[in-house]
Amino acid sequence: MADNKQGADPLRPEVTGTAPAPVWVAVPVPDQVPAQEGMAEVPGSRLWYWDTGGNGQPVILLHAGTQSAAGWVYQQPVLAQAGYRVIGYSRRGYYRSDSGSADDPGYGADDLRCVIKHLGLSAVDLVGAAQGGFFAIDYALAWPDQVRSLAVISSYMGITDADYAAVNARLRPPFFATLPHDFQELSPSYRAGNPQGLAAWQALEHAAIHGKRITPKMKQPLTWARLETIRCPALLMTGDSDLYTPPSLLRMQAQHMPHAAVHIVREAGHSPYWEQPALFNQILLAFLAKQNR
């Protein structure tokens, strides 16, 4: 398993993972590290968060559009036990957070800024999954001096350039939106081989949104040109079965972030942090450890 380094070809990211076992071995959810819970005030709403506390480097986890801050159960204890201060929060209208006004959904990056200020943090490591990656990128562009590193996981990023929009339209034609979320996001291997994990993921998804879905705004449209200005250490990761961000799309992203480490996880879909948590955590911890040197 190796990162893209200077001179490596970002169009050929390494596929990581061992040869598949004959039978899928479920990974039990580990015991969670005790964490403080609270509500952070944002303009027109309040956001629920959990925080493992301590003096470690803060790592903030930004959830996908079908999940919430409750969905990081495989990462919370592993990161905390590695010495990090781990924080997750639910965006507006998601699990335990207030919805606020649907007519004024606020800005995702500004809400993240409020959470960071509420907790008294300075430079942070951001890990954004799927739609959470949109807001992590937007925050890194707005406050580059406050982001120590940026990990974008299985996210099509919301880039608005015409070439990229056309590719995404081909990948996900209109009928795609009518499919069940677990079909859209979990790999065939996982759905076939881990019925207990599938049921647990579905339960978290059903609890994630308690009313009308609220989608915060971006501070500015995301474009390739803006993405290319990001200079902090970066990690791009997806699953080889991801229908939203397949390896072909990740290669397009890597062209515009040539300094990023790039990984494709075998037998994982749109939620590699859930489907292949041991490997996901290994990759993420190795990336974060480099920022401590």
Whole-model pTM: value is 0.93
DSSP conformational letter for 175: G
Q: What is the mean pLDDT of residues 40-44?
A: 97
Give me 26's structure tokens: 């479920």
Residue with tokens 């490596």, as numbered in its chain: 8
pLDDT score, position 78: 98
Per the prediction, the chain carries an average pLDDT of 93
In the predicted structure, residue 278 carries a pLDDT above the cut 50: yes
Quickly state the pLDDT bin for 13 (edges 50, 70, 90). low
Q: What is the mean pLDDT of residues 58-73?
A: 98
pLDDT score, position 189: 94
Q: What is the pLDDT of residues 217-256, one digit of tens each?
A: 999 999 999 999 999 999 999 999 999 999 999 999 999 9
pLDDT score, position 14: 62
Q: What is the mean pLDDT of residues 121-142?
A: 98
Annotated domain spans of the chain: 34-291
DSSP symbols for 49-78: EEE--SSSPEEEEE--TT--GGG-TTTHHH
Q: Which amino acid is residue 148, in one-letter code?
A: R
Q: What is the pLDDT of residues 180-212, one digit of tens each?
A: 999 999 999 999 999 999 999 999 999 999 888
Q: Residue 76 in contact with residue 32, Cβ under 8 Å? A: yes
Closest CA to 60 of 107, 117, 104, 142: 117
The residues pairing with 21 across neighbouring beta strands, listed in sequence order, are none
Pick the CATH number of 34-291 from 3.40.50.10800, 1.20.120.420, 3.30.420.40, 3.40.50.1820: 3.40.50.1820
pLDDT score, position 19: 55
pLDDT score, position 88: 99
Q: Residue 237 in contact with residue 265, Cβ under 8 Å? A: yes
pLDDT score, position 25: 82
pLDDT score, position 17: 67
In the predicted structure, residue 173 carries a pLDDT above the cut 70: yes
Helix and strand element counts for the chain (H, E): 11, 9
Quickly state the pLDDT bin for 1 (edges 50, 70, 90). very low
| Nearby residues of 218 by Cβ (< 8 Å), 6 or more positions away | 107, 108, 109, 134, 135, 138, 158
CA distance 30 to 215: 31
Q: What is the mean pLDDT of residues 37-56?
A: 97
How many other C-beta atoms are found inside a 10 Å radius of the C-beta of residue 250?
27
